[in-house]
Amino acid sequence: MTASGMKHTRRRKKGVSYVKWGYIFLIPFFLIYTIFSLAPLLSTFYNSFFENFMSGLKQIGPTFVGFENYVKIFTEGDLLKYAENTLIIWIMGFVPQIIVSLLLASWFTDIRLRLKAQGFFKTIIYMPNLIMASAFAMLFFALFSDYGPVNSILQSMGLLDSPFRFLSSVWGTRGLIALMNFLMWFGNTTILLMAGIMGIDTTLYEAAEVDGAKPSQTFWKITIPLLKPILLYVMITSMIGGIQMFDVPQILTNAKGTPNRTTMTLIMYLNKHLYSKNYGMAGALSVILFIITAILSLVVFFSLTKKDD
């Protein structure tokens, strides 16, 4: 009797009854995730194997066609062209972004430089990140239109004789999208890199200073090598973000990817298929994007966990 009594109290003390609350508190997350994300994801995969589209007003399919949609999207569609557009615009924004962010992060954290008004500058450079991308694109469309304020300013300064037609030029439009991506993300990257630099052991910098190292030497020999994992993280997450590029080019070019579809991105292409109810192709495209993103995410995951060892 005493034995069973003790067992009883011990069990109660250890809190067996609490464990179930762990499961209960997880219910909302997993329930909602299953309904609104997991099931749609699986259904997307499933749909990618069916021929299912609207031809005029006539519904074709759904008929099971195996991998035919995948073959079709690579051979018939302009998938590679849109992938190339997305990659080019991403690189045009990312290269200046990483250079400027590294520069600013190393300046902000430089103990000898002691920059004033850091809070002000950080506030300003982070601000564009919170702007509604579609409104920002609409603003740039108005600003850089043929008779808009930017052309008006450039002409009154005598830099241009006639308006430069930004949105009719391939590199003008791509450049504007890249510029907006740059503005929206360089502040965020600066803050991430700053957190990384501040995590570096300060005695390394002190030792370098005693040895008479120049700022450029400490930057290339200490900061960059030790920052590698975070630089990789920033690059891959930015690449994943780049694949998702949509709002800015969609609004700036009115969903057309003008001029001549040179600014049509992968997600704009997906959106087009979704709108025209071309579900087979949309499914195949989604799965391809999912696989690319998954590979990139695994790179992030392993680079971060390796650092822990």
How deeply is 113 buried, as exposed, middle or buried, from its count of CB atoms within 10 A (0-12, 13-18, 19+)? exposed
Q: How far is the CB of 20 from another protein (least distance, A)?
A: 8
Of the pair 71, 304, the CB lying nearest another protein is at 304
Taking CB under 8 A as the criterion, the residue among 61, 78, 126, 172 binding another protein is: 126
Q: How far is the CB of 238 from another protein (least distance, A)?
A: 13
Contact window for another protein (CB under 8 A) among 67-75, 79-87, 169-177, 249-257: 249-257
Taking CB under 8 A as the criterion, the residue among 36, 56, 161, 309 binding another protein is: 36
Contact window for another protein (CB under 8 A) among 34-42, 84-92, 168-176, 219-227: 34-42
Q: How far is the CB of 38 from another protein (least distance, A)?
A: 8
* Residue 195 contacts another protein per CB under 8 A: yes
* Residue 43 contacts another protein per CB under 8 A: yes
* Residue 230 contacts another protein per CB under 8 A: yes
Of the pair 74, 301, the CB lying nearest another protein is at 301
The dihedral over CA atoms of 253, 256, 257, 259, expressed in degrees to the nearest 10, equals -80
**C-alpha span between 33 and 23 (Å, rounded):** 15
* Residue 219 contacts another protein per CB under 8 A: no
Residues 266-305 that bind another protein (CB under 8 A): 267, 270-271, 274-275, 279, 282-283, 286-287, 289-290, 293-294, 296-297, 300-301, 304
* Residue 225 contacts another protein per CB under 8 A: no
What's the one-letter identity of residue 262?
A: T
* Residue 124 contacts another protein per CB under 8 A: yes
Phi/psi at 65 (nearest 5 deg)? Answer: -130, 10
* Residue 244 contacts another protein per CB under 8 A: yes
Residues 83-112 that bind another protein (CB under 8 A): 100, 103-104, 107, 112
Q: How far is the CB of 272 from another protein (least distance, A)?
A: 12
* Residue 169 contacts another protein per CB under 8 A: no
Taking CB under 8 A as the criterion, the residue among 78, 134, 200, 226 binding another protein is: 134
Of the pair 177, 270, the CB lying nearest another protein is at 270
Taking CB under 8 A as the criterion, the residue among 1, 29, 158, 210 binding another protein is: 29
Number of residues in contact with another protein under rule CB under 8 A: 101
CB 70 within 8 A of CB 48: yes
